[in-house]
Amino acid sequence: MTGKRANSHDVAKLAGVSRTTVSFILNGVASVQIPEETRRRVWEAARQLNYYPDAAARSLASGKSRVIGLILCQQADHLAADLFLPEVLRGITDNAREWDFRVLLETVANVSAPDAYLSLARERQIDGIVISGPRSDDQQLGQLVAEGFPVVLQGRLRGADIPFVDVDNVAGAKQAVAHLIGLGHQRIGLITNAPLHYTASEDRYRGYRQALSDAGLAYDEALMRQGDFVEESGYLAMRELLGLPNRPSAIFVASDVVAFGALAAIREQGLRIPQDMAVVGFDDIRLAPYMHPPLTTVHLPAYELGWQAGDLLLHLIRGETPMRTEVLLPTELVVRQSCGARTRQRD
């Protein structure tokens, strides 16, 4: 077994056929008729020689790399706070594997770098691309789309007509706030997950306002603060809100990580949750059920998000017309104890 790698020529020779036939058989080309006996001989020869077709040669000849790119555009801090990445990765690689595709990963700190990821496409290293956390100031993105290169966003970009997969942030936030309203709260604060120029943040903000307005409650800007992905931002924002002369009785924090900081701030003031301050989060991170108290939050289907993004992209790559090019996944409110709706100990 120390000899050179076998190529399709070797397989052909051993099976007593031409290289063309080997290619037909191993790739299962349907438009060609070959008797079972020949097929068997070729497969057997391939097995015997431990033959694996060379990816580069195959890619060069076919013009397809069978690889999709996954670009993480979040800056370092925000990426580290993204506790769902493992699940999203599983979703996308699982789907890719079903179609015999691979996933190439790239992290991009600065989208406006001259060549953050564009060359991946230009060098034909990938057949399509999923952009996670797209930024509106991303030039390369526009170029790729304009050239007709298959692109799917994971996360929305307002004003751009690009296929995307996201959760229904508006509906999720609305449901969370409606729940608090249903529990009798009239003054409900908001700490966003991120600055409002992020689409997801804006959408959750919208959901918050819709819920208020649906219930005939006035929106009070004094009760709103902008979070910034990390725990500390929630801690600081919450301290500000707690210092208000007329503080809210409940708060919707549009990110569990940010909410985690907010919880610490509330406890620090000696206030009880939910009696003195009810809290609802967003994301349903793994730790939520074990927080103090267990956090009521909006569940986000992370695996599904990755899976659907991969699915949509692979449809585009195959040139099929997908059912929809804009996928909004549903969220689900998970009621635990931080909102005050239950008194049970554990969920």
Chain contacts with DNA (rule: CB under 7 A): 5, 7-9, 12, 16-21, 23-24, 26-27, 29, 32-35, 38, 51-54, 57-58, 60-63
CB 298, min distance to a copy of itself, A = 18
Give the three-state DSSP class for 326. strand
CA distances from 293 to 183, 223, 280 (A): 17, 23, 11
191 belongs to the binding site for a copy of itself (CB under 8 A)? no
| CB-nearer residue toward a copy of itself: 170 or 241 | 241
Q: Which stretch binds a copy of itself (CB under 8 A): 31-39, 62-70, 158-166, 247-255?
A: 62-70
Alpha-carbon span 71 to 108, nearest angstrom? 7
CB atoms within 10 A of CB 166: 20
85 binds, among a copy of itself, DNA, none (CB under 5 to 8 A by kind): a copy of itself
Alpha-carbon span 48 to 2, nearest angstrom? 14
Q: Which stretch binds a copy of itself (CB under 8 A): 12-20, 88-96, 196-204, 325-333?
A: 88-96
What does the block give as tokens for 205?
A: 């903000």
103 belongs to the binding site for a copy of itself (CB under 8 A)? yes
Scanning residues 66 to 85, which ones bind a copy of itself (CB under 8 A)? 67, 70, 72, 76, 79-83, 85
| CB-nearer residue toward DNA: 279 or 314 | 314
What values do phi and psi take at 332, rounded to 5? -150, 130
Range list of β-strands (E), the chain = 67-72, 102-107, 128-132, 151-154, 164-167, 188-191, 224-225, 250-253, 278-280, 297-299, 326-329, 332-334
CB 281, min distance to a copy of itself, A = 13
What values do phi and psi take at 184, rounded to 5? 100, 0
Pairing of strands 67-72, 128-132: parallel
Cis check: omega of the bond before 274, within 30 degrees of 0: yes
20 binds, among DNA, a copy of itself, none (CB under 5 to 8 A by kind): DNA
266 binds, among DNA, a copy of itself, none (CB under 5 to 8 A by kind): none
CB 118, min distance to a copy of itself, A = 9
H or E element in which residue 10 lies: helix 8-15
Q: What residues make contact with a copy of itself under the rule CB under 8 A?
A: 50, 52-57, 59-60, 65, 67, 70, 72, 76, 79-83, 85-87, 89-90, 93-94, 102-107, 119-120, 122-125, 230-231, 235, 257, 260-261, 263-264, 267-268, 286-287, 289-292, 345-346
